């Protein structure tokens, strides 16, 4: 059985908790190292554990790749626009920052899945949670807001739109084939 095939998974409640805890630990570890060498290793280990324990197969891997690509481009645009600076000077987004995106992407089919049908709440959560995450990241790293006032405000507005859109996107990657395999596996276990 491949690492990216659907297999027995913990119940949805514990899966969400496992995903949320692993995400936060990985986010913090990447932020604390701020290393373009160590951060990809953290992501690789995180993804191996994620797919071994709760991952949703190849479809989720494609979602992670898509969100990482979009997030990497977004980070570069935010740096180019001057919303962020690196140690007070204009720069491009560092690789370790981009490494936060695949870790975040795993939450869309797990910890944040219930918010897919509550888009107004997702927008509010994106505005508040996204802003707080970036503010914490700025305080713990060498990255600064270009404007201490407008930076968080613009991030809040951006994430109030982006988070619901990413949740909607994740629906397309909640693979019916993987869901069918999970159902068949559950049926086989019921008769064993």
Q: How do residues 51-77 score in pLDDT, each as one tens digit?
A: 999 988 899 999 999 999 999 999 999
Closest listed residue to residue 16, CA positions, set 107, 82, 88? 107
User: Rounded to the nearest 5 degrees, what angle is found at the Cα of 66, between the Cα atoms of 60 and 69?
Assistant: 140
Q: For the whole model, what pTM was predicted?
A: 0.84
In angstroms, the CA 121 to CA 163 distance is 10
Domain ranges of the chain: 12-181
Q: How do residues 128-137 score in pLDDT, each as one tens digit?
A: 999 999 999 9
């Amino acid at each position: 059985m491949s690492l990216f095939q659907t297999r027995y998974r913990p119940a949805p409640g514990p899966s969400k908790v496992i995903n949320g805890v692993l995400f936060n630990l990985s986010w913090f570890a990447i932020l604390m190292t701020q290393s373009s060498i160590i951060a990809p290793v953290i992501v690789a280990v995180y993804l191996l554990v994620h797919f071994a324990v709760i991952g949703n197969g190849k479809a989720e891997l494609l979602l992670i790749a898509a969100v990482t690509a979009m997030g990497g481009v977004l980070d570069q645009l935010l740096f180019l626009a001057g919303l962020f600076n690196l140690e007070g000077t204009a720069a491009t987004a560092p690789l370790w920052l981009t490494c936060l995106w695949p870790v975040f992407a795993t939450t869309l089919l797990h910890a944040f899945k219930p918010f897919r049908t509550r888009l107004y709440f997702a927008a509010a959560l994106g505005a508040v949670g996204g802003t707080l995450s970036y503010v914490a990241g700025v305080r713990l790293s060498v990255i600064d807001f270009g404007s201490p006032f407008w930076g968080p405000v613009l991030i809040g507005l951006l994430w109030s739109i982006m988070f619901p859109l990413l949740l909607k996107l994740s629906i397309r990657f909640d693979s019916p084939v993987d869901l069918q395999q999970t159902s068949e596996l559950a049926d086989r276990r019921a008769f064993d």
